[in-house]
Each structure stands twice: as C-alpha cells, then as structure tokens.
Amino acid sequence: MGDMKKVTPVKKILISVLATFTAMVAMKFFLDFRKELKRVKASAGFTPARFDLRDMGWASGARQQAWGTCWIFSTYSSLESNLLINKGWEKAGEKGLVDLAEYHMDKFNSFTRKGDQQHVKSDWYSGQGENFPGGNHDDLNSGVVVHLGGDYRMATAILSNNRGAVQERLVPTIKGHSDQKIFGDSPWEGVLLENDYTYFVPKDVEYLTLFGSDENKREAIKKAIVRYGAVASTQNMDDTPVGSTKEGMEIHMYRGKDKMNHAISLIGWDDDFKYKEHKGAWLVKDSDHKDEKTGKHIGYFWVLYDDVHVGKDPYMGGVSFRGVAKRTYDRAYTHAYHGWRYSTGDDGKVKSVATSFNLKEGEKVHSIGVYTTSLDVKVQLEIYSEINGVLLKKIEEEFYYPGFHRIDLKRPLDVGPKKKVFVVQKNSDNSYAYDASFTLDVLLSELPKWGEPVDINSKASLNESFFHDGRSWIDFASYKNSRNGQMLNEHAASNNTASVALNVYTVK
C-alpha cells in the first residue's frame, strides 16, 4: 500500500473553514429560496395558516412613540416593511436599518392648526406654542393640534401631496413627552422642514376593509401582508390584556361599543391560535402599549380575530402602503390638500371630473395621482394642453381596491408653451374623491376636549376643479352633497370648499 499524504494542521483548518463557508452559503440559499417560494405562493393567492413578517426579515423594529402619534408610527411601519421587501431603501443609496422619521410627518402636514399658548402642556398630550406655524393653509385656525391624533386618509394625503417620508437619521431623536423644545416651534429649529432629505413615497395606498364581509377583509389583509408588508390597522386600546400565551405574550380583544382610539400595525397572523371560545389572531407590532406592572413598552402582542375594530373598520381596519420608493418626480400639484374626504357617487349627477393647473417653466408631466372609491374600478384619464385645448395623452388603468394610485407616464409629457394642463378623470363607477371642509374624529384629542371631533376647514377657488353632469362642465368649488356627510360645520355651509382629489406630478 502506498504512502498517504499527510494532512497538516493548516490544511485541516482550511478544510474546516471551507466546509463552514459552504454550509453557510447553502443555508442562505435555502432561506432565500424559502422566502421566494412564499412570495410566489402569495402571488398565486396562497396564504398559509400562520405567518410572521419577522421570520422573513420584512418587518422593521418596534419603536415607542411620544404623544398621540400612533397613526404615523403604524403608517411608517407599513412603508418600512414595503421598503424591506422591494429593497427600495438600498436602491435609494441608504445603508443600515430602514428607519423613517415619524416626527417629520407629525410637524409638517396639511392638517394641523397654528400653535396656541393653551396647547403647551408638560405631559403626553403636549402641543406647541404660539410660534408653531401649523400646516392647514386653507384655514390655520382650524385643524388638529400637533401630536394629537390623525387617521390613514390624513397619511395618504400627506404622502401623495407633500414631500414624502424622510430618513430618521436626519431628524433629532424625540425620546419622550417632554421633548417639545427638541421638536421645535418653527420649520428652522428642531425637526427641520428641509435637511438634504431623500423622500420616500408609496405608489399605491389601498383600503382593504372598505367593502366585503369580515372573512373577505381578513383574507385581503393576509395577502397584502405577504405580498407588500405590514398593514396599518386600528383598535380600542386597553393596556390590560384579556390573557397571555404560555410564552408570556399578551392577548388582546375588544368587544364593546366604544370607538377606536389607537393605530397599530399587523405583521402576521395565526389561524389556529386559540383563546377560550375564540380562534385565530393577528400578530401586532405596536408603538404605545405598556406592561401594567413594569410600565415598559410592549412591542408585540396578539389581537383575536373577534375584536370589533381590528381588520374590520372601513377606513382604518386595513390599509396597505405599497410600491414605496425614492421619489422620482420634482413637484406635486393638487387643489385637494386634505385628499379624499368625500365621494360623489351617491348623487348620480357627476359623470366625470377634471382639474386645471399652471405648471412652472420647464416642467413636464411625470405622473397623475387618482383616487378610486369602490372595488374594481376602471379609470380613464385624458390630458389636455389647457381647458378646451389639444388632447395630449389618453390613459386607461384598472384598480381593484379603493384608495390612492399614482400612474407614471412612460416618458415625461410636455404640455406646450403656456404650461397649462387640464386633466379629465372618468371612473367606471361614476364615483370620485374630493376634499371639502369636514369634521375629523381623530383617534386621540385633548384639545379642544377629549374625544370630541375637530373641524378641518378647506377652501376652494373657482376655475381649479370641475365636474361634468352629462351636458356641460360645472365648477366644482361650490359642489355640495349632504347625503355623503358633507357640510358638517358652519364654515362649509358658507364657503366654497370642494376640490377634486386629483394630482399632477412634474419633472424639470
């Protein structure tokens, strides 16, 4: 028998390292394959009995809020989750954790009233002093008090009309309820209006629970979680759980008649979860729940399917922010600063709507933002150089879920030397979203009084928005439809407030 070559200690180490490396590569391949298999199954309409976005690495970490900002934290949880799935964070040149700045949206949005000395408090519901500028430029004396609640239609309007979500690393750290000075009273102190931000915006915001049975809504949310990431929802919050799992995780469920008061993020589910006579539960990521005994923030808990609000409320039960990416347009034009507040569909007299904008020199149309208010709606857009001008572009799209949808053009569109653009929208259901003065039932509100709705006034000028009644174009500014809840305050009864919720985005 011939001599065997000796294996030196160095070679043994190299062989061991190579074997370990090979095993690691194989394991990563296997895990990536499993993730991709779940994605493929989701695209085919398959949803498993149990799912957790954390297992996939598609959920950002749980963070603790200050003040009444839960609606922003749950919105940003959905944005961040979608960025993890579509790798939009890395594509934008960002490194490290996906982390968006909730308090930038808190400070700079189109719904806050200007500050007042009575708003300044020292505890969790602190507002801002009289130097705070406010964001409701339609009427700075009305609107929500900064930090004191909101809803997902507010978030949709802000993300589609304003700059977008920005990086947390460029915003001062707000740790607690006494950080009003860190937050800042003006756009040039504390949380800054501009700070070399990258802006992240969703392409679509889908309202998954506006129609259908509880089972239909549950299935829609599950599919959205697997395909697009965390889904924003709401509950009636109580720090006292109804029970806990063997592992010590809290179980929550509300079965009473009180309204919603807290926004949460759904990141998974378990159909086989059992508690007493109840079966099935949502996995929640939260920004405000605390352990009653320790006072510490609880980032995750279960909410049973039988909860009366979670996954069920029409506008707050399940909202998916998807197609999130670095903003590719330069400017957003809109007359509806508060986005979708009412729908025209129940009066039958509006056959189509239109908006007119005067663009800046050198700008071209990049995309159009529309709203649909029903299931499975076909949208037809016609872009003209001006009112009664030349037809430049005709677009047809179809959207299953109601909500906001941005339609990007294949190439920027020049509207001509006058830089005027007139966009006509025709929906198959003859229902159109519009903004007008309204009363907002915020999730939280200490001022003017706890639990009371607040007026958010709008204003509308002539020759901006229009509707067609089948015979001619009529100015939309004075449109009123009391059957859909419009005219809830005195301001709306005596002023032109209605604007079509249709946006134009441009590039230079």
Burial zone of 410 (CB within 10 Å; 0-12 exposed, 13-18 middle, 19+ buried)? exposed
Tell me the CATH architecture of domain 328-507: Sandwich (2.60)
**Which residues, listed in sequence order, are joined to residue 505 by a DSSP beta bridge?**
332, 367
Closest to 179 (Cα-Cα) out of 188, 189, 187, 169: 189
Residue 156 token pair: 């949709």
Q: Which residues of 289-304 are buried (b: 16+ CB within 10 A; e: fewer)?
A: beeeeeeeebebbbbb
Q: Where are the domains of the chain?
A: 12-44, 47-327, 328-507
Separation CA 490–CA 161 (nearest Å): 26
Residues whose CB falls within 8 Å of the CB of residue 33, separated by 6 or more in sequence, listed in order: none
Determine the length of the chain. 508
Separation CA 111–CA 337 (nearest Å): 8
Per-residue tens of pLDDT for the chain, all 508 residues: 444 455 576 677 777 767 777 777 666 666 666 666 665 555 556 789 999 999 999 999 999 999 999 999 999 999 999 999 999 999 999 999 999 999 999 999 999 999 988 888 777 778 888 899 999 999 999 999 999 889 999 999 999 998 999 999 999 999 988 898 899 999 999 999 999 999 999 999 999 999 999 999 999 999 999 999 999 999 999 888 999 999 999 999 999 999 999 999 999 999 999 999 999 999 999 999 988 778 888 999 999 999 999 999 999 999 999 999 999 999 999 999 999 999 998 778 899 999 999 999 999 999 999 999 999 999 999 999 998 899 999 999 999 999 999 999 999 999 999 999 999 999 999 999 999 999 988 776 555 565 578 899 999 999 999 999 999 999 999 999 888 888 778 899 899 999 999 999 999 9
CATH 2.60.40.10 fits 47-327, yes or no: no
Amino acid letter at 136? N
Going through 189-259 in order, the beta strands assigned E by DSSP cover 200-201, 204-207, 231-235, 243-244, 250-252
Separation CA 95–CA 93 (nearest Å): 7
Amino acid letter at 328? T
Separation CA 331–CA 135 (nearest Å): 18
N- to C-terminal Cα separation, the chain: 81
Cα 477 from chain centroid? Answer: 27
Residues whose CB falls within 8 Å of the CB of residue 138, separated by 6 or more in sequence, listed in order: 337, 338, 457, 458, 459
